[in-house]
Amino acid sequence: MRKVIVFLMCACFAMSAMATEPTCEDHGGTTITANNGTTFCKSNNGMNWWSAFTWCESQGRSLAEFSKMCGNVSQSPSNTEGDCPNLQGKGDAWVWSSLAYDSYAAIIVNLSSGALFAYGRHDGGTGHPCALCE
């Protein structure tokens, strides 16, 4: 009987050790590692700014802060290559930041060029900015 109890305890321990938290990929996203080593979770689908907040929160994350995405650079959405060198060359999508630009738009970042742009927060859908969660 003692052997059975020990065996069951070992089996329970092994099963609990195998359980892992869901990954970004489990939620329909892709893990992005920025040039400074910070990791983010990018949604695989475009969405509006409000949906991006919700998508991140559904994973226990938050929509990425501009300062964590781009560091201490100008927040001016000039659409110039290299404005956000930390994310430059990290994909081929535009991604939302949590930074509102005005009453209509928020700052988005192009993962290919590192350019910044002000994009309407209610706009979204296929081909539009993806969520970027921290």
Tell me phi and psi for residue 40, to 5 degrees: -130, 165
* CATH code of the domain covering residue 93: 3.10.100.10
Alpha-carbon gap, residue 3 to 100, rounded angstroms: 62
Alpha-carbon gap, residue 26 to 28, rounded angstroms: 6
Query: Does 16 reside within a domain?
Result: no
pLDDT in tens, 28-54: 999 999 999 999 999 999 999 999 999
Total structural domains within the chain:
1
**Residue in 96, 106, 102, 110 with CA at minimum distance from that of residue 41:** 96
Query: Does 3 reside within a domain?
Result: no
Alpha-carbon gap, residue 64 to 16, rounded angstroms: 31
Q: Give pLDDT, residue 74.
A: 87
Each residue's pLDDT tens digit in the chain (134 positions)?
A: 565 554 545 454 544 444 577 899 999 999 999 999 999 999 999 999 999 999 999 999 999 999 999 998 988 888 899 999 999 999 999 999 999 999 999 999 999 999 999 999 886 666 689 999 99
Contacts of 11 (CB under 8 A, 6+ apart): none
Query: Does 12 reside within a domain?
Result: no
Query: Does 80 reside within a domain?
Result: yes
Q: Give pLDDT, residue 22.
A: 85
Query: Does 56 reside within a domain?
Result: yes
97, 106 contact by CB (below 8 A)? yes
Query: Does 61 reside within a domain?
Result: yes
Alpha-carbon gap, residue 35 to 69, rounded angstroms: 10
Contacts of 37 (CB under 8 A, 6+ apart): none
Instruction: Give the domain range for residue 121.
Output: 23-133
Q: Give pLDDT, residue 108.
A: 97
Query: Does 14 reside within a domain?
Result: no
